[in-house]
Amino acid sequence: MIVLGISGAVNHDASAALYIDGQLVAAAEEERFLRDKHAKGQFPYESTKFCLAYAGIQPNDVDVVAFPYAKIGISSPARWHYAKRHWYAPDRALLALFNGNRRYKRNFKKVMKMLDDLGIDPKQVKFMPVEHHLAHASSAYHLSGFKEKTAILSIDGKGEYASTFFGYGENGKIHKIKEFYDPDSLGGLYGAMTEFLGFEMLDGEFKVMGMAPYGDPKRFDFSRLIKTDGKGFRVNTKLVNCLGLRRYKENGKGYFFSPKLIDWLGPKREGDEIDDPYIDYAASIQDLLEKVALGLIDTYLGDTLKETGKLCYAGGVALNVKLNQRIIARPDVKELFVQPAASDAGTAIGAASYAANELGDSVEKMQHVYLGPKYTNEDCIQACLDHENKPDYDVLDNTTEYTAKLLAEGNPVSWFQGRMEFGPRALGNRSIIGNPGSKGVADRINAQIKYRERWRPFCPSILDTVAEDMLQTGHPSPYMTFTFDVAESWKERIPEVVHEDGTARAQIVTAETNPRYYELLTEVEKLTGNGVVLNTSLNRRGEPMVCSPTDALTMFYGSDLEYLVMEDILVRKIKPE
């Protein structure tokens, strides 16, 4: 059975994913093709075309189209909760009660038009809408590979109405335990504070998380933002996650926090520096998120965790690696699987995997996220010939050895290999890499290559043979979805990838999932003694990760990078003497 999953229902992070007989064969985000981060307001035309072409599938071969957005009936508590909590914005409240399916109807029309435009007959294909948080849950549970009873958690801003999902999976079926509804949203709360701290919602939450270790969470009491008794929570919409007239407005733009928050905490942060008191605000909101989330996990998932210790997790908040570290540290958690594409892009996988499972296919465990386009040496050479800069290039016959030598000498390198990653993390195929033992390389990449805030941390990619010694745990971490405490013996060896609090967001690399990257790390280990490289996504600030060789060349010539390795093709700005 051929199942196409498409996302884009909530106006951002459109993507497509293709399952054939329970195997995930292709997935890509629309932003990579449009070169527009988060592809706001778009549907996944280009990513769907890619998935079908990569698999050799004709549009009329598709059996099922799954979409992560469903009707929510008037009898559901979701619409009544939303209306009650938005009494101060009666237009929103009444709309939820009397036309709560408006967005579903609009999305349905867009999906049908897209299918028709792409040659997929809407009348012949089976259309399966899947509740947003069920799609998140499926993307975690059905792809985790866990066979025993498994606790399931999903936290984001909101889908149709739900913001938080607790459940369990058993024998392939997902069971709901409890949902919470907007505006009572941990993701919405964190997103509102992200805006107050001067970043864009959907893109800046991880910056708040990165700022938090520089601050003191005890300096300010943020408990007035949310009330919780461990069983439930209620966001203070007089301060955050508010709508309409309650919103703070500046230069014609409305924010998800109110003027009362400004009265309490002072002006919204501006600029790129980490400064007082905003670093303490970041620390406080991170601490608050952790405390509330961990308390709710106790209440709703504690029994399942005591039984098997298995937990899987998705939704945008699942990308908060500091919270994930706290979850792993729980004595009742034996293993945590976080869907690497945990944000709404991953709901394309989630909707498709849910539909495939419901219709009888056995969904395979996720083995890797290298699910996007790939390019040959000939493609890379042609991109060089066609590019306006007309770069000279060399064809390497010892690509990993040569690149390892560049890294050992302290040079950052653009590393463009194999199939593009799905999800927000570069995992060694669309990466900028450096030697984490080379002093100053992180500052150089931040300032001269990525053009981003100088305090932003970088992540290590680690050989599986040294991971347990460095991270002091055997917990799997193939996707950079967790931070770990770095062993003291390693901190001086790889200072460029150790964050302010002594942690690192690590990717453990295996030969099975990425043989070329593994070979590179092995060559680096021979030269430096450390089987570790600094790894960050191949893009500049505000841009999507590069997709094609042309994208890589454009990014290369728009930065101070000096070396670009695309498959076996070397492009450099400085010729050897």
The tens-digit pLDDT sequence of the chain (577 residues) is: 999 999 999 999 999 999 999 999 999 999 999 999 999 999 999 999 999 999 999 999 999 999 999 999 999 999 999 999 999 999 999 999 999 988 999 999 999 999 999 999 999 999 999 999 999 999 999 999 999 999 999 999 999 999 999 999 999 999 999 999 999 999 999 999 999 999 999 989 999 999 999 999 999 999 999 999 999 999 999 999 999 999 999 999 999 999 999 999 999 999 888 789 999 999 999 999 999 999 999 999 999 999 999 999 999 999 999 999 999 999 999 999 999 999 999 999 999 999 999 999 999 999 999 999 999 999 999 999 999 999 999 999 999 999 999 999 999 999 999 999 999 999 999 999 999 999 999 988 988 888 788 778 899 999 999 999 999 999 999 999 999 999 999 999 999 999 999 999 999 999 999 999 999 999 999 999 999 999 999 999 999 999 999 999 999 999 999 999 999 999 999 766 5
DSSP 8-state secondary structure symbol assigned to residue 448? I
Can you list the pairs that 74-80 forms with residues at least 24 positions away whose Cβ atoms lie under 8 Å? 74/100, 76/161, 77/181, 78/160, 78/161, 78/162, 78/179, 78/181, 79/161
Helix locations, 171-320, DSSP H: 186-196, 205-211, 259-265, 278-308
Active-site positions read 12
Q: Can you tell me the distance from the alpha carbon of 355 to that of 343, in angstroms, rounded to the nearest whole number?
A: 19
Helix locations, 309-376, DSSP H: 321-328, 347-358
Closest CA to 140 of 149, 151, 129: 151
Q: Which residue has the tokens 């050895």?
A: 401
- The answer to whether 352 touches 3, Cβ cutoff 8 Å, is yes
Set out the domains of the chain in order of their start, with CATH numbers.
2-76+83-144+341-358 (3.30.420.40), 186-337 (3.30.420.40), 377-572 (3.90.870.20)
Q: Which residue has the tokens 């407005």?
A: 249
The answer to pTM > 0.85 is yes
Tokens (6 digits) for 202: 């959907």
Distance of CA 264 to the CA centre of its chain: 32
Q: Please name the residues in contact with 98: beta carbons below 8 A apart, sequence gap of 6 or more.
A: none
Using alpha carbons, list the distances in angstroms from residue 409 to 398, 497, 527: 17, 17, 10
Closest CA to 473 of 322, 326, 329: 329
